[in-house]
Amino acid sequence: MDIAKLTTELDQIERRVEDALPTLRSIDELRRFEAEILGKTGPLSAFVKAIKDFPADQRGQVGQTVNSRKNRIEARLGTHRDALQQQAAGAEQQAAASFDPTLPGEWREMGSVHPVTAVQWEIERIFVRLGFTIEAGPEMESEFFNFEALNIPGDHPARDMQDTFWLKNGMVLRTHTSPVQIRAMHKFGAPLRTLVPGRCFRYETLDASHECTFHQVEGLMIDRDISIANLIALSKTLLSEVMHREVELRIRPGYFPFVEPGIEIDMNCQICGGRGCPTCKHSGWVEILPCGMVHPNVLRAGRIDPTQWTGFAFGLGLTRLAMMKYGIRDIRVLNAGDLRPLVGAQRLAGAIIRE
Ligand code: FA5
């Protein structure tokens, strides 16, 4: 390369810089351009490296030319940086001066928890106040915990009460939260107060009030001299606290092999006010809280002495309670993944959580 060609190429670089400056509107853009022109792999570094290839008598002049052009370009970019920084400071000042703290804030749509979660948290708060611990158990459960330990042996007709998903490995998807009763007894012994919210699975025909995946909350209290009166009083308090009003309940005998006596507590349907609708299968009542006194065989399976201790257990239909609370007519919308039918309920649920 000769000096004339070098000068032409330096001219071109300077022109490129001049052309680019008006398009560089932010410090970031400027920084990127600077790196392109002045960086190690840029054209100016290549010229600096090339100085040594010129004949010795020309090197001084070439060096001077390259350095002075480099300084000029650096100065030009520096001036542009100052201008951009001033502009940014001015814009900030202007924004601060035009900020009106009396204007109403921007409305942002709030997210919310799922209605079932909202009711679950509410129930947990009530029971934690009463000294209950919150437990969890596995959703894939052994036949022993799901049935046998709950006084439902293999040949017992009560196995047909809960349509079961059997897995290839011989386990089941738990059909109820009751297996955690036994797990909690093994873990804590007596006395014991525990609450177990959780997902359950049944091979059901779906309708407005039956899903194959739904939530229950198991409650278990074991102590000395626990009676069915304690259970009924607690159930009434629980349901009216969750619904935030007195609710009409119907108590009738119920059969579950793991309790004796067993009772069913139904709530009058909050969707139709008890007149009858598809949600309550036109009966005016919704099965919500089956419960009873823990069967001695179950206490034994839990390694608790039934001559010393008594207890009650319940298996609240959490999903159905959430439907009653938020006026959700069809259980299928809860798991459908379409948020639109849930929006109203979720707003209410959000309000409850923020209370
Ligand atoms: C049981 O699951 C017993 N483990 C409850 C229990 C626990 C009784 C402790 C006594 C002592 P049941 O099958 O009735 O019982 O179910 C309990 C509640 O879960 C029902 O009242 C209902 O509200 C709800 N439920 C049951 N099946 C479904 C379903 N397919 N979809 C939605 N909710 C359901």
In a domain, 107, yes or no: no
Going by CA atoms, what residue is nearest to atom 23 of ligand 1? 317
Residue where one domain finishes, among candidates 98, 133, 155:
98
Residues 255 and 167 in one domain: yes
CA distance 62 to 57: 10
Phi, psi of 150 (to 5 degrees): -95, 25
Going by CA atoms, what residue is nearest to atom 32 of ligand 1? 210
Cβ of residue 202 lying under 6 Å from some atom of ligand 1: yes
- Expressed in angstroms and rounded, the spacing between residue 306 Cα and the centre of ligand 1 is 25
Residues 250 and 135 in one domain: yes
Instruction: Return the ligand 1 atom nearest residue 289 CA.
Output: 21
Residue where one domain finishes, among candidates 48, 68, 98:
98
Residues 175 and 38 in one domain: no
Residue where one domain finishes, among candidates 98, 127, 157:
98
pLDDT top residue among 180 and 111: 180
What's the domain count of the chain?
A: 2
Phi, psi of 161 (to 5 degrees): -70, -25
Q: Which of 191, 147, 197, 206 is nearest to 172 (CA)?
A: 147
In a domain, 103, yes or no: no
Residue 98: pLDDT band by 50, 70, 90 thresholds? confident
Residues 233 and 137 in one domain: yes
Residues 136 and 62 in one domain: no
Q: Are 229 and 286 in contact (CB under 8 A)?
A: no
Residues 80 and 156 in one domain: no
pLDDT of 353 strictly over 60 = no
In a domain, 291, yes or no: yes
In a domain, 209, yes or no: yes
pLDDT of 344 strictly over 80 = no
In a domain, 321, yes or no: yes
Q: Which two tokens stand for residue 166?
A: 């059997």
Residues 48 and 83 in one domain: yes
Residue 50: pLDDT band by 50, 70, 90 thresholds? confident
For 256, the domain range is 115-354
The pTM score is 0.71
Q: Which two tokens stand for residue 305?
A: 């002495």
Residues 88 and 125 in one domain: no
pLDDT of 345 strictly over 90 = no
- Expressed in angstroms and rounded, the spacing between residue 316 Cα and the centre of ligand 1 is 7
Which amino acid, residue 81? R
Mean pLDDT of the chain: 91
In a domain, 106, yes or no: no
- Expressed in angstroms and rounded, the spacing between residue 315 Cα and the centre of ligand 1 is 6
In a domain, 191, yes or no: yes
Cβ of residue 216 lying under 6 Å from some atom of ligand 1: yes
Cβ of residue 315 lying under 6 Å from some atom of ligand 1: yes
- Expressed in angstroms and rounded, the spacing between residue 211 Cα and the centre of ligand 1 is 11
Alpha helix segments (H runs only) across 99-178: 115-129, 143-146
Q: What confidence score (pLDDT) does residue 355 get? A: 43
Q: Are 299 and 191 in contact (CB under 8 A)?
A: no
Contacts of range 15-22, beta carbons closer than 8 Å, 24 or more positions apart: 17/73, 17/76, 17/77, 18/76, 21/76, 21/77, 21/80
Going by CA atoms, what residue is nearest to atom 5 of ligand 1? 315
pLDDT of 125 strictly over 90 = yes
Per DSSP, what are the bridge partners of residue 199? 215
Q: What is the CATH number of the domain that holds 339?
A: 3.30.930.10
Instruction: Return the ligand 1 atom nearest residue 290 CA.
Output: 8
Residue 214: pLDDT band by 50, 70, 90 thresholds? very high
Residues 81 and 154 in one domain: no
CA 135 to centroid of chain Cα atoms: 19
In a domain, 125, yes or no: yes
pLDDT of 321 strictly over 90 = yes
pLDDT of 301 strictly over 90 = yes
CA distance 60 to 66: 10
Residues 45 and 160 in one domain: no
Residue 350: pLDDT band by 50, 70, 90 thresholds? low
Residues 151 and 30 in one domain: no
Residues 76 and 122 in one domain: no
